[in-house]
């Protein structure tokens, strides 16, 4: 029962983070074409205030719950090596940890990324994580 509760919390927080990335990449960034630079800066700034209070804690929750779930389902590596499930879960975990560290260091430590400063790569990583989660159990 604990695992199901943790998984539900994880998914809810992932919807918050993924929803932010979808909104930013597909809607907010496209507003530049239709607004003046001043209007765009004002609109983006208004949205950013609310996002900064919701998204970073959701990202931390995703990391903590994700690491817990991995500890419960990964299993042991056999003599023949990792199973397909374990390999896909490892890749998913790597992408998730990268996203979490990038976001956490940026928001809580003030360390700006050297490359991939926008939200396109995190958006692609989130989509990859979603697809990996669907193919892990096949």
pLDDT at 1: 92
Q: Report CA-CA distances (Å) from 20 to 9, 28, 30, 72, 81.
A: 17, 10, 14, 28, 37
**Alpha helices for 74-113 (secondary structure H):** 84-108
> Which contacts (CB < 8 Å, 24+ apart) does range 93-96 have?
93/66, 93/67, 95/125, 95/128, 95/129, 95/132, 96/62, 96/63, 96/66, 96/129
User: Does position 63 have pLDDT exceeding 80, yes or no?
Assistant: yes
Contact 66, 93 (CB under 8 A): yes
- Parent domain of 118: 2-135
More confident residue, 44 or 97: 97
Give yes or no for residue 116 having a pLDDT over 80: no
Across 50-60, average pLDDT: 90
**What value does the mean pLDDT of the chain take?**
90
How many structural domains compose the chain?
Answer: 1
């Amino acid at each position: 029962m604990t695992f199901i509760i943790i998984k539900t919390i994880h998914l809810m927080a992932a919807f918050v983070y993924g929803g932010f990335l979808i909104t930013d990449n597909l809607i907010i960034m496209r507003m530049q074409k239709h607004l003046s630079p001043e209007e765009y800066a004002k609109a983006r700034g208004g949205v950013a205030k609310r996002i900064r209070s919701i998204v970073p804690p959701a990202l931390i929750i995703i990391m903590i719950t994700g690491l817990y779930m991995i500890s419960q389902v990964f299993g042991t590596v056999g003599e023949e090596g990792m199973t397909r499930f374990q390999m896909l879960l490892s890749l998913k975990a790597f992408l998730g940890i990268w996203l979490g560290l990038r976001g956490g260091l940026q928001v809580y430590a003030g360390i700006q990324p050297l490359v991939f400063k926008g939200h396109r790569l995190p958006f692609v990583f989130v989509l990859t994580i979603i697809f990996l989660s669907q193919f892990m159990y096949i």
